[in-house]
Amino acid sequence: MKLEGRRTIVTGGGRGIGRAYVERFLDEGAQVAILDLNIELAEQTAAELAERGKVFAMSVDVGDKDSVDTAVDAAAERLGGLDVLINNAAIFGDWKPKDDSFEYLEKITDVNLLGQWAVMRAAAPYLVKSPHGRVINQSSTNAYSYTYTGPTDEFPGLRSYSYAWTKYGINGLTKYTAAQLGNWGVTVNAIAPGVIATEALTGTVDESRIEQLVAQQPIKGRIQPKDVASTAAFLASDDAKFISGQILIVDGGRFMPG
């Protein structure tokens, strides 16, 4: 029960890694508000986990700053304050990797990158009042994957690779925000998962490609959402009170940036 009583927001907590965060934090004694665009799924998740502790669901569109402000304020009021923010919501399971239009790039950026900033901005006034203020952003090892394999005979135009771009941006945003909030004792870190066994992954990446990526890990095996959630529980605990501005990669050793 490392997180006993810690008032926590998890965006995108209705399924996948987000749900694993909710489960682990409840098991550690936290109180959790699930903020999700899919409110029906979030409410179902909250109902299924109600026996583990205080958990409830609220609707949010992280790509809309007014929606973010309203949801975070309402969640913090219901929780009686805020200690931990897990910034997990993103476009991934329904990501369109071949859409290089400027409009789609704006959409991905608004949700995956600017959305995380908007949630942090809304949560910051509450976090600075907590003796245990923590922000955990969701990055990805896609941030370190720069190779594009495609046609070489004819130039197709400059690819945006929008998902990877936004995740690399989160790494920079994490460090910048850590410097801003450190004066008030709030730590800001990011977790960069590798190939994680979720429905979102299998719905986006071919199984043969997943097997290829897993084979590249020095530590073999398909990483589970609970493995990422355990990292978040550590970062939110008092054991990590002097760890800030860091990107923790959970990928079996596939990426080891200096």
Active site residue: 161, 163, 168, 176, which one? 163
User: Within 10 A of 227 (CB to CB), how many other CB atoms are there?
Assistant: 19
How crowded is the C-beta side of 256, counted as CA atoms within 13 Å? 7
Q: Read off the DSSP letter of residue 223.
A: B
Q: Where do runs of H (alpha helix) occur along the chain?
A: 16-27, 39-48, 65-79, 102-108, 114-127, 162-181, 199-202, 207-215, 225-236
Annotation marks residue 144 as catalytic: no
3-class DSSP state of 172: helix
CA-atom Rg of the chain in angstroms: 18
Distance in angstroms (rounded) separating the CA atoms of residues 161 and 99: 9
- Residues 6 or more apart whose CB falls under 8 angstroms from that of 44 comprise 14
Vertex 169, ends 200 and 211: CA angle to 5°?
A: 35
Catalytic positions, please? 163
